[in-house]
Amino acid sequence: MQVPLLDLKEQNDALRPEIDAAIARVLDTNAYILGPEVSALEEELAVYCETKHAIGCASGSDALLLAMMALDVGPGDEVITTPYSFFATVSAITRLGAVPVFVDIRPDTFNIDVAQIEARITERTKAIQPVHLFGQCAEMAELQKISEKHGVPLVEDAAQAIGAKEDGKLAGAMSDVGCFSFYPSKNLGGMGDGGFMTTNSDELADKLRALRVHGSKERYYHKWVGLNSRLDGFQGAILRVKLPRLEGWSEARAFNAGRYREILGDAMISDQLILPVEREDVRHIYNQFVVRVPGRRDELRAFLSSNEIGTDIYYPVPLHLQECFAYLGYKAGDLPVAELAARETLALPVFPELRMLQLEYVTEKLIEFFKGEL
Ligand SMILES: *Cc1c(COP(=O)(O)O)cnc(C)c1O
């Protein structure tokens, strides 16, 4: 049996007639950049995320960059963030000449360790940017308290967390700006690059809308130096087909995660294979189902691969140890929890269309591996 880490074909094939019609609508109107489909999608996203505004842009990476620009992050400023995330979390900061200040993660959720943040706040701290890694919110209630106490804005990297909740509140609705991605592997994936930002501030929304079109509100009059970062009409139309299905897909992911838990929880291998930890009062949307494998991660990955089971490592190198950030002066050992996670984590297939027989095959092979019945 073959079990890919992610299979987009089935999802897209099932929607093919609607997607064809959506593409035809764009061709009929010739609105290829922003336009009515994108505006309609933005309204639907604002409803979904329960925010006042949702603003499309060219990628999740740009959403983060635009958020930092909107908050006037610039040379010499510091932004507190996590070292255990996708690269764009940090490049959004460094591209503006600002300095990422890394705070280590919690060993259970892999999200930023909120208890360590306050000690790192200085008069140069311009923003705090948590990441809701793998689909589970960072501790936003605590982060909001810190943000208010110190008067430092919050930006959520919610690229993996559309629809995730903490205490009933949605990812992207718990900060100054929420940043999302439509990269095809996200829970709501486009057919190309795309992203969006959420905010409840009219002022920030206004600025973000201008920044995505070279900083102009009125064509050819530039208040700021912005980017060319717009969502295209095809993505807007296609994503409007997909958005009504998002809840069902995220439910299916959570269901699959639950099945892994039931089967593997009974298998007496919990000291060798640590399953994802859900905090209380959260809705985890399982963009990834990431387990921890102390000592034998790479061996397990090779074994699963030899059995045609797809896995991946998010992320093999923590951001503070990336070659391009050597100038920041971090060294191995500085952020031990993130460094250990980079050595131990493995993502297993959890996508919505995963068949129960496939999932059971994965668990069978995991049990075989850990019980030494090879
Ligand atoms: C995917 C992702 C991004 C970047 O999104 P793109 O649309 O690929 O630019 C940023 N942060 C995190 C945590 C992500 O997973």
Determine the longest span between alpha carbons in the chain, in angstroms. 70
- pLDDT < 70 regions, the chain: 373-374
- Other Cβ atoms less than 10 A from the Cβ of 333: the count is 8
CB of 57 within 8 A of CB of 197?
A: yes
According to CATH, what is the number of the domain 245-371? 3.90.1150.10
Domain 11-244 is found in CATH 3.40.640.10: yes
Over residues 203-213, the pLDDT tens digits come to 999 999 999 99
Over residues 97-134, the pLDDT tens digits come to 999 999 999 999 999 999 999 999 999 999 999 999 99
CB of 315 within 8 A of CB of 340?
A: no
Question: How far, in Å, is the centroid of ligand 1 from the Cα of 52?
Answer: 23
> In this predicted structure, what is the pLDDT of residue 198?
98
State the DSSP code for 115: G
Domain ranges (residues) in the chain? 11-244, 245-371
Domain 11-244 and domain 245-371 have a common topology: no
Rg (CA), the chain: 21
| Cα→Cα distances 208→55, 193, 215, 235, 349, Å | 8, 18, 8, 19, 36
Ligand 1 pocket, residues with Cβ under 6 angstroms: 59-61, 85-86, 88-89, 131, 157, 159-160, 181, 183, 193, 195
Over residues 54-81, the pLDDT tens digits come to 999 999 999 999 999 999 999 999 999 9
Question: How far, in Å, is the centroid of ligand 1 from the Cα of 159?
Answer: 5
Question: How far, in Å, is the centroid of ligand 1 from the Cα of 229?
Answer: 15
Q: Please identify, by atom number, the ligand 1 atom nearest to the C-alpha of residue 88.
A: 10
CA 329 to chain centre: 27
Pocket probe for ligand 1: among 57, 84, 183, 287, the residue whose CB has the most ligand atoms within 8 Å is 183
SS percent in the chain: helix, strand, coil, step 5: 45, 15, 40
* Residue in the structure block whose two tokens are 């035809």: 24
If you take atom 14 of ligand 1, which residue's CA is the nearest one? 159
Separation between Cα atoms, residue 56 and residue 121, nearest integer Å:
31
Q: Please identify, by atom number, the ligand 1 atom nearest to the C-alpha of residue 160.
A: 15
Question: How far, in Å, is the centroid of ligand 1 from the Cα of 201?
Answer: 23
| Apex 159 CA angle, 155 and 162, nearest 5 | 100
CA 52 to chain centre: 21
- Average pLDDT over the chain reads 97
> In this predicted structure, what is the pLDDT of residue 374?
53
| Percent residues over pLDDT 70 in the chain | 99
Over residues 84-98, the pLDDT tens digits come to 999 999 999 999 999
> In this predicted structure, what is the pLDDT of residue 373?
58
